[in-house]
């Protein structure tokens, strides 16, 4: 009996110890959980510091400052916005329909209020467009073809154009301003307009501007930003702004400055780089004796090493490019290049077309006499870097037996060449449109004098197409033709860089339209 007593006593003791241990462990886990929650709460900083150098105005229509334009997208909203993959998305506009080649019907959001409490209505859109047609603005070209705006009702407008504009809806990305706000105010750069956006201006001082989370923002249930306050520091120069970022006083900056690292170094921050709007390419005159032949154009494309140009002339501060929409657009996916650098393939293409390599040049017997493959490349002589590019291309082609004369011309002569299309090859640089309109490359009177029935058909079809999958299919085909027939050779795009504090949490996914894409999920 005594033996059983001690046995049971021991079992009870062990059970007691076990229960105590479990209780202790659970208590410590809860305490640690609670401590972690408290720490996380303490560490989640909901303020952000941005910057503007050479500040001019907070009026997003009158400002010409890129820093202001970037930050203004947090305060003012357009009818449509652009996603990180360059898709058109509704914002203050709910939906749109193309009623004819020159008229658009647009339905507006009916639950939007301005920061001063007034309702957003169709009058505001008309007022903004009217102002854009009267003042000098970076958005003036967006409305250049609008003849009038009909107000159907408070939340419906009809926009009429003087001519068909492919993908006109992409022009409606300018900020909308309040008509009621300006009833008793002058439309000037000195007055800060109210907005409808995620943040509102709550303080303006000589050295900084304060933005506060707009608690009554119409879209707050879908995109409730974690950041509650944004301080925008004002600097007299870009250099001063760079120094402030370098010392940790600014959280985010964005620039196309190729020498940025010379100012802010290479450590202590994170960065995202994207292809910019500047697209450089060679236009081949497809009506030229030699360049009318697809094989010659392909041989030239195979003979040019774009990476060599970007590394030797631009110190790898540009991105090589293969198509005008090759900047992150959802309409273009990089394909296996059919015209990438391949000197052996260049030789084969010319041989297959009947050319003979003799005395370091390609030549062909035509009409009883030998003709050497010799071409002229036009470039602006005032742009020293572009001249270097032209000389690099000349050297690469001559290494392959294609004779090239670089023709440096002044700006007036260059424009005359473009107008008259009387060049063999011309080195071009354009700022790409935010829309996927490729008329510059494939439309009537295009830079390559290029004509293709299938391309013309596709260009006519995409103008009125709204289904994304169909558009992707059509543009994929355009890219295939571009690479196969080579009316142009895309070279490279400039590089945009967004630099940000390593303490910034959330996905930073800038595009050239909006560097703050996804900001609602950011915090520090």
CA 136 remoteness from chain centre = 23
Residue 241: helix, strand or coil by DSSP?
A: helix
Residue 44 per-residue DSSP state: -
Q: In this structure, are residues 288 and 297 in contact, taking their beta carbons and an 8 Å threshold?
A: no
State the architecture of 46-75+197-269+501-524 in CATH terms.
Answer: 3-Layer(aba) Sandwich (3.40)
Q: Are 455 and 481 in contact (CB under 8 A)?
A: yes
Q: Would you call 413 helix, strand, or coil by DSSP?
A: helix
Separation of first and last alpha carbons in the chain: 69
Domain positions in the chain are 46-75+197-269+501-524, 76-188, 275-496
Q: Identify the burial level of 42 via C-beta atoms within 10 angstroms of its C-beta, where 0-12 means exposed, 13-18 middle and 19 or more buried.
A: exposed
User: What are the C-alpha distances in Å from 59 to residues 50, 73, 185, 213?
Assistant: 18, 11, 13, 19
Q: What pLDDT, on the 0 to 100 scale, is given for residue 334?
A: 75
CB burial string 100-120: b at 16+ within 10 A, e below: eebebebbbbeebbbbeeeeb
Question: How many helices and strands in the chain, by DSSP H and E?
Answer: 13, 20
Q: What value, to the nearest 5°, has the Cα angle with vertex 289 and ends 286 and 294?
A: 50
Distance between CA 323 and CA 336 in Å, rounded? 12
Fold of 76-188: Dipeptide-binding Protein; domain 1 (3.90.76)
What pLDDT score was predicted for residue 333? Answer: 85
Nearest-angstrom CA–CA distance, 280 and 277: 10
Residue 78 DSSP symbol: B
C-alpha distances in Å from residue 301, one per residue of 51, 478, 488? 43, 18, 9
- In this structure, what is the dihedral angle of CA atoms 78, 83, 88, 89, given to the nearest 10 degrees? -60
| 275-496: CATH class | alpha beta
Same fold, 46-75+197-269+501-524 and 76-188: no
Q: How far apart, in whole angstroms, are the C-alpha atoms of residue 431 and residue 281?
A: 12
Kindly list the averaged pLDDT for each block of 10 residues, start to end, along the chain of length 524: 49 57 54 45 85 97 96 98 94 96 97 97 98 96 97 98 96 98 95 98 97 96 96 97 96 93 93 94 97 97 96 94 94 69 95 94 90 96 97 97 98 96 97 94 95 96 92 96 96 96 94 93 96
């Amino acid at each position: 009996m005594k033996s059983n007593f001690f046995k049971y006593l021991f079992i009870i003791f062990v059970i007691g110890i076990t229960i105590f241990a479990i209780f202790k462990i659970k208590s410590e886990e809860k305490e640690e959980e609670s401590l972690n929650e408290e720490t996380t709460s303490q560490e989640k900083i909901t303020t952000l510091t941005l910057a503007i150098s050479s500040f001019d105005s907070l009026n997003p229509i009158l400002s010409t400052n890129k820093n202001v334009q970037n930050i203004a997208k947090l305060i003012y909203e357009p009818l449509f916005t652009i996603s990180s993959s360059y898709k058109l998305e509704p914002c203050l506009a709910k939906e749109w329909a193309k009623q004819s080649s020159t008229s658009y019907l647009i339905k507006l959001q009916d639950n939007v209020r301005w920061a001063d409490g007034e309702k957003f209505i169709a009058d505001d859109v008309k007022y903004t467009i009217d102002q854009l047609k009267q003042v000098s603005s970076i958005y003036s070209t967006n409305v250049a073809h609008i003849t009038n705006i009909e107000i159907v009702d408070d939340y419906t407008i009809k926009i009429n154009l003087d001519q068909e504009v492919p993908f006109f809806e992409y022009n409606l990305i300018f900020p909308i301003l309040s008509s009621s706000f300006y009833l008793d105010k002058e439309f000037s750069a000195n007055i800060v307009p109210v907005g409808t956006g995620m943040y509102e201006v709550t303080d303006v001082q000589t050295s900084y501007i304060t933005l506060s989370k707009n608690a009554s923002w119409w879209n707050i249930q879908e995109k409730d930003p974690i950041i509650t306050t944004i301080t925008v520091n004002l600097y007299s120069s870009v250099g001063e702004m760079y120094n402030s970022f370098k010392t940790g006083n600014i959280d985010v900056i964005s620039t196309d400055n190729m020498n940025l690292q010379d100012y802010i170094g290479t450590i202590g921050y994170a960065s995202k780089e994207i292809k910019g709007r500047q697209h450089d390419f060679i236009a081949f005159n497809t009506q030229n004796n030699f360049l009318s032949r697809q094989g010659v154009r392909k041989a030239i494309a195979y003979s040019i090493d774009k990476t060599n140009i970007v590394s030797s002339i631009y110190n790898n501060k540009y991105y090589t490019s293969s198509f005008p929409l090759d900047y992150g657009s959802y309409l273009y996916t990089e394909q296996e290049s059919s015209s990438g650098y391949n000197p052996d393939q260049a030789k084969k293409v010319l041989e297959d077309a009947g050319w003979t390599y003799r005395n370091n040049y390609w030549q062909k017997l035509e009409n009883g006499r030998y003709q050497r493959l010799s071409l002229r490349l036009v470039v602006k002589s005032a742009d020293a870097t572009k001249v270097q590019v032209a000389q690099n291309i000349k050297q690469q082609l001559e290494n392959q037996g294609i004779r090239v004369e670089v023709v440096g011309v002044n700006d007036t002569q260059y424009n005359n060449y473009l107008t008259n299309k009387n060049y063999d090859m011309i080195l071009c640089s354009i700022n790409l449109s935010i829309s996927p309109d490729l008329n510059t490359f494939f439309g009537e009177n295009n830079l390559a004098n290029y004509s293709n029935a299938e391309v013309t058909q596709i260009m006519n079809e995409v103008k009125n197409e709204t289904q994304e999958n169909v558009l992707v299919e059509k543009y994929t085909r355009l890219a295939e033709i571009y690479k196969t027939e080579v009316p142009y050779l895309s070279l490279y795009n400039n590089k945009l860089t967004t630099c940000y504090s390593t303490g910034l949490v959330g996905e930073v996914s800038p595009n050239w339209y909006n560097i703050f894409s996804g900001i609602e999920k950011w915090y520090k």
